[in-house]
Structure 1
């Protein structure tokens, strides 16, 4: 293949990446925002995700697989582990697994003591979990096969962030019975955007703020048209506004953190951009006086947040200060989660099984009309459902992320980028300590694309 042919192929892939990934992003945005296994939207989501696998496989090459073997191995290992949990085991093995004692007694009482059962305690839920993996698999293979650059992937995430903010604000304006709420089980009256849960929407708002900030800094460094200098700050302000209006305490705190991390990124970019200003007097002035250019957006952010707080428009801030704000069911669950973890840490109870297995451990003082469907701590729930193998996958992924970010910090001009990645994964990891954002297909796609973008940054690969 000649150089001209390679250039034409690369240009063609860029256009196809925008088209296919854009369509897929919209599909997941409007059907993948709920974590419930019985949400009706998962039917078209998974069916259409299977169709989107066709172009992904068609454009995929062995070279693409070799370049991205780490992410593919981690996702493939998760698929294999989930499938293994569904393999029937002989009674002599299954009955000896921890946590199965009650079911063994029930089997003996009804004469099923010789029945073969899979490792998972809830086979139908684990089958559902296995089917759910088609969405992140399609998202990853599609982005890899079309050679989507980090910039393309981040623009898609930023676009989803703006869509989430706009839809969330329209939901509040149109009232709690608005048809703009996409899911039956949702936080009506709140800012949920393209999600079913306002916490997930708020956490994604914080993540998308960091992505928009990074894109703005890159646009400034690349001497893009000046009108783009309005687009990115406008998108950042819109997303921050939606996060402040929302009622999510986690989203409020994460968005404030994202705003300050963005200022740190801007300050670092000013320090490394002093020799790139060229003849543009405005950019030259900004690079010569980084303290002033950092202080202006800092004052703007503080003024905006203060106005919302003092005018009583930040309901999440009021919830944070409420006397019973930490008298939350999440904290009462920890002793139960500890007992479940001690029981299932080795082989796990099966992916998707938490809701039903929890009822075996639920104390009487936590019985209530509402039920617990997730652990509200995804780190612990992953170990409960997946056991030590899932823990190995988690540690491997964390080590890879840490290695990639550490590599970026060693390059002075990339320290702002490294800070953005630290902020992004700190927000997602912190949110997973108190909630379950990665249980939604939409957040899974966002996380997969962020990991692939980090991989592009790590290798210094530019596909556009």
Structure 2
């Protein structure tokens, strides 16, 4: 793994997992991840430069636009321009209370938060820069790395559950008895296990004649399923159906091929064992059965937050309030009947929050990423590393689906992992002439 991926990217992803799972409430930990990513990228810029020659042009364009958006939001604008932007009447009223007209003011209503949002992209860029784009076996090694990180998260989470008092949890937890691992949110931890399950399936498919490695990957897959359920995350537990469905489909397809009949039997037996093991745990394990009980709890604040967030979208449409500013602007539109003791720090929907902070520009950019990745997936379906492409694509799909009701990319750990998944999915064969 070290020979193919290089230790910088292994170190980067490990640091991101261990220190970057807390979200925006832990700026010092995030700063550590960002500085580490920047240092690794700068120290190995020559090493990375050779690898970047194989990067598709689409990556350069999309990454450039992604970085440009928050940078444009912090550029000072003359009063004649920024005062005409939607929602800036609130800014003007605040400045009048301070006895100043504000003079030149940026697109963002809070320059500092937008700068922090820009800095959060550094680990993603570093992961893309350090990835060995020109190597066909890089995808397989990246999947193995993700599985290893998932096993590490499971072991640490299991220790947390074994030790009373939540003393091993790196962050304050909302509910004891859940498996958090290195994350502050049980939803993020659960999604990470789903991602690692996708990786274990892809790596298992690519492993040939190595019984020990295949056994490790099979065991890791079971641990990822159990780990996701132990987080008590309903969305992550539901997302498990996607990789499990892929396993069933692979088993069915392999069974129809005489040359791979044994593989089909192995996959089918693995799926049955997996489902049976989950059933036993759900029936007898109190911690695992708690996840099933949560599906009966329909009381949720998300619809109320979404309803009020849509007013914020309308207020700042089509330019947005600035990346990272949701916490500043949402209280203005939070209705009295929905107000509780605590103010929501997130919209609990990646897409609604993106619409508030970036307006139509962020939504178009997200759509451009989705369309381009879909095209790259289609182009890579017949490559030598197609199993890695499919595994990474399925993991990215799971992140996108959880983004409907949560905020998976608002912590440095999953953001960095998303960069690794994009590189794994898009990485092409050395002889490929595609220009996308």
For normalisation by structure 1, the TM-score amounts to 0.85
1:197/1:68 CA distance change after superposition, 3 Å: same
Query: Could you say what secondary structure the match of 2:404 adopts?
Result: helix
Match of 1:384 in 2: 356
Match of 2:412 in 1: 441
**8 Å Cα contact 1:17-1:146 kept in structure 2:** no
Query: What is the CA–CA distance in structure 2 between the aligned matches of 1:63 and 1:46, rounded to whole Å?
Result: 21
**8 Å Cα contact 1:376-1:434 kept in structure 2:** yes
Mapping of residues 402-417 of structure 1, within 5 Å? 402-409=374-381, 411=382
State the shift of 1:226 in Å. Answer: 1.9
1:120/1:14 CA distance change after superposition, 3 Å: same
Deviates more, 1:258-267 or 1:396-405: 258-267
State the shift of 1:46 in Å. Answer: 2.1
1:28/1:181 CA distance change after superposition, 3 Å: same
Match of 1:88 among 62, 76, 88: 76
Mapping of residues 147-186 of structure 1, within 5 Å? 149-178=138-167, 180-184=168-172
State the shift of 1:285 in Å. Answer: 5.3
Please say if 1:250 is aligned against 2:221. no
State the shift of 1:93 in Å. Answer: 0.9
CA-to-aligned-CA distance 1:107-163 (integer Å, 9 cap, x gap): 334432252211101111111112222211212111157968112222222211111
Match of 1:41 in 2: 29
Aligned residues: 429
Please say if 1:112 is aligned against 2:100. yes
Match of 1:316 in 2: 291
Query: What is the CA–CA distance in structure 1 between the aligned matches of 2:148 and 2:51, rounded to whole Å?
Result: 29
Query: Could you say what secondary structure the match of 2:342 adopts?
Result: coil
State the shift of 1:337 in Å. Answer: 1.9
**8 Å Cα contact 1:60-1:145 kept in structure 2:** no
Query: What is the CA–CA distance in structure 1 between the aligned matches of 2:395 and 2:387, rounded to whole Å?
Result: 12
Query: What is the CA–CA distance in structure 2 between the aligned matches of 1:345 and 1:173, rounded to whole Å?
Result: 49
Match of 1:278 in 2: none
Query: What is the CA–CA distance in structure 1 between the aligned matches of 2:306 and 2:12, rounded to whole Å?
Result: 37
For normalisation by structure 2, the TM-score amounts to 0.90
1:386/1:294 CA distance change after superposition, 3 Å: same
Match of 1:305 in 2: 278
Match of 2:325 among 339, 353, 371: 353
Match of 2:11 in 1: 23
State the shift of 1:208 in Å. Answer: 0.7
Match of 1:286 in 2: 262
Match of 2:394 among 396, 401, 423: 423
**8 Å Cα contact 1:252-1:317 kept in structure 2:** no
Query: Could you say what secondary structure the match of 2:425 adopts?
Result: helix
**8 Å Cα contact 2:255-2:261 kept in structure 1:** no
**8 Å Cα contact 1:60-1:146 kept in structure 2:** no
Match of 2:127 in 1: 139
Gaps of 5+ in 1: 1-12, 276-283
Query: What is the CA–CA distance in structure 1 between the aligned matches of 2:431 and 2:165, rounded to whole Å?
Result: 46
CA-to-aligned-CA distance 1:343-377 (integer Å, 9 cap, x gap): 22311110100011101111111221222001110
Query: Could you say what secondary structure the match of 1:190 adopts?
Result: coil
1:246/1:63 CA distance change after superposition, 3 Å: closer
Query: What is the CA–CA distance in structure 1 between the aligned matches of 2:402 and 2:190, rounded to whole Å?
Result: 10
Query: What is the CA–CA distance in structure 2 between the aligned matches of 1:206 and 1:460, rounded to whole Å?
Result: 32
Query: What is the CA–CA distance in structure 2 between the aligned matches of 1:413 and 1:131, rounded to whole Å?
Result: 36
Deviates more, 1:80-89 or 1:261-270: 261-270
Match of 1:5 in 2: none
**8 Å Cα contact 1:198-1:248 kept in structure 2:** yes
